[in-house]
Amino acid sequence: MNGRIWSWIIAIPRFLYNFIVGDDWTVAVAVLAGLIVTAILNANHIVAWWLMPIIAIVATGVSIERHYVQSPR
């Protein structure tokens, strides 16, 4: 029983890391930075709902571009 608990304790952070960071840690950093900037703007009563979709689209495009540049054709 004790071994099952430890396996869950180790498995959950591993899953979350792989799910959030995945193959490209730069996308996770860009999204985190976007959330922080959005929170700061909203705290200063500046509407910033449009910022996260732009960051997500740009980060995805940059990630795809880097993948195709690095991979052999």
pLDDT confidence of residue 22 = 82
Q: Are 38 and 51 in contact (CB under 8 A)?
A: yes
* DSSP string over 1-18: -HHHHHHHHHHHHHHHHH
Q: What is the pLDDT of residues 11-44, one digit of tens each?
A: 889 888 888 888 788 888 999 999 999 999 999 9
**Residue 41 or 73, more confident:** 41
Angle, to 10 degrees, between the axis of helix 25-43 and the axis of helix 51-70? Answer: 160
Evaluate if residue 3 carries a pLDDT over 70.
yes
Q: What is the mean pLDDT of residues 1-17?
A: 83
Q: Report the 10 Å Cβ neighbour count for 55.
A: 19
- The pTM assigned to this predicted structure is 0.72
Q: Are 33 and 51 in contact (CB under 8 A)?
A: no
Write 63-72 long-range contacts (CB < 8 A, 24+): 63/24, 63/26, 63/27, 66/24, 67/24
